[in-house]
Amino acid sequence: MRVAGLLVILSGGCTASEPRSPTAAPASAEVEPARDTDDARDAEDRRDDAMGEPQRLAWRWRSPVAPGDSEPFPPMPTSVVNGPTTVEARALAEGGVEVVQSRRGRTQWTAAVGDAHHDAAALAWAGDVFVAHYCAIASGAVVTRLDRESGRVTWTQPLTGLGPVAHSRYKNAVQLEVVGGTVRVFGREAQGAYVEELDVADGHRMGHSRVEPALVELQWRAVDVPRGEAGFDLPQGWSMGEGEAPLLRYAPPGGEVRSIALPSSFGDCDTGAGLEHDGVLYLAHACGSSTGARLYALYVSEFAWQWQADLYALGPIGHFAYANRVALEWRGDRVLVFGDESLGRYVEAIDPERGGTLVNQSWPPDAALASPR
């Protein structure tokens, strides 16, 4: 699965209003009325929606600073580039956000979105332009889709987010991506985090989850195995055998030696880590010279596989020479995977029952760890 045109930026929204009409170069385009499916909902309904069900959507966050540093407010403007085309969002002096699309340096259109309180944005380019606009010191956000040819507003959708939030001092950040037919919005506010999915076609809400507070504050920790070094860090009695297919072996003290092939091939990979908890062995399998990892769960008593799942890790990236290593930890009631790769570091929280990702947070590689002040 490929992620289309991802660009991250910050902030949150204040009171939503109708977007102002875009202007196109050389001619202006007529703007269709913005669609707002929340008009009929009162504050109590929105608060109930924001509480949500137990988390079922994965929340991802790409930090621009070193692990442990506080998240900054990225300055405007921000931009996303697709070949010769650049889309830039910048804060207007009178309030609101202006989106400008240019090709080879020549402006094609401009569009103003948001109300006077909105001063920050996140952009994603996936055929059309998607912009989340909001206020960096207040809760909430609004997503608008703009036609790539004219800048015309296709739809506008206020987010459920955390629901109505009372505050005096506040901090709000949003990251945005488009995957297939879904716009995914990742929010990180002073009072919590959420993930919300919208339909690309018309902006209607497809899903919403609040994130477990403890998972929002996860931090990366060092992986003991040197980057690029082959071998598996496994619990006592466990080992990886060599052969045509990766083979997991278990030799308990005084017990029968047993072995089992991995349920699927992850390529010619030679590094990984294991964790045994409550009768289940969790095995992370990675390649020391490429990105990503796969996680397996094995019932020890039955010696049968429970599930397997590919980690999001750092997401789709291209590379040539590379180094990769992983470590596992059980914390609370979650499996944590810590990854250290050439292009960044990450921690991924996994639901041990089904293997699904709950949270993925990533940070820059060593060379970019000095954070701006």
153-158, strands of its sheet edge to edge: 153-158, 142-146, 128-134, 120-126, 4-9, 172-179, 182-189, 192-199, 205-210
* Residues in a beta bridge with 233: 273
- Whether the pLDDT of residue 168 is over 50: the answer is yes
Same structural domain for residues 204 and 248? no
pLDDT at 368: 45
Say yes or no: 203 and 237 in one domain.
no
Residues 202 and 259 in one domain: no
Q: Are residues 176 and 258 in the same domain?
A: no
Overall average pLDDT of the 62-80 stretch: 84
> Using only C-alpha atoms, what is the Rg of the chain?
23
Give the per-residue pLDDT at 44.
Answer: 40
Q: What's the rounded Cα separation, in Å, for the pair 107 and 172?
A: 31
| Count of CB atoms situated within 10 Å of the CB of 27 | 8
Q: Are residues 174 and 273 in the same domain?
A: no
- Check whether 8 has a pLDDT greater than 70: no
**Any domain includes 184:** yes
Q: For 51-70, how does the pLDDT look when each residue is reduced to its tens digit (9 = 90+)?
A: 445 678 999 999 988 888 88
Predicted local confidence at residue 227, as pLDDT: 54
Number of folded domains in the chain?
A: 2
User: What's residue 321's pLDDT?
Assistant: 78
Instruction: Quote the pLDDT of residue 254.
Output: 86
In the listed set 216, 249, 279, which residue is the last one of a domain according to the structure? 216
**Residue 224 domain-assigned?**
no
- Say whether both 107 and 19 belong to one domain: yes
pLDDT for position 249: 94
Residues 209 and 313 in one domain: no
Q: Are residues 248 and 212 part of one domain?
A: no
60 shares a domain with 33: yes
Dist. CA 75–CA 69, nearest whole Å: 17
What's the whole-model pTM score? Answer: 0.81
Is residue 177 domain-shared with residue 272, that is, in the same domain?
Answer: no
pLDDT averaged over the chain?
A: 83
Q: Tokens 């699904």 sit at which residue?
A: 356
Query: Does 223 map to a domain?
Result: no
351 within domain boundaries = yes
Over residues 265-313, the pLDDT tens digits come to 776 678 899 999 999 999 999 988 889 999 999 999 999 999 999 999 9
The domain of 301 spans 231-368
Q: Are residues 198 and 237 in the same domain?
A: no
Q: Which residue has the higher pLDDT, 347 or 268?
A: 347
Q: What are phi and psi of 314, to 5 degrees?
A: -95, 5
- 274 and 147 in a single domain? The answer is no
* 249, part of any domain: yes
On whether residue 299 sits in a domain, the answer given is yes
Residue 369 has pLDDT above 80, yes or no: no
Q: Mapping DSSP to helix (H, G, I), strand (E, B) and coil, where does residue 216 land?
A: helix
Higher pLDDT, 267 or 204: 204
Give domain status of residue 32, yes or no: yes
The one-character DSSP state at 45 is: H
**Residue 225 domain-assigned?**
no
- 88-119 residue pLDDT tens: 999 999 989 999 999 999 999 999 999 888 99
Last residue of a domain, one of 185, 216, 247: 216
CATH number at residue 257: 2.120.10.10
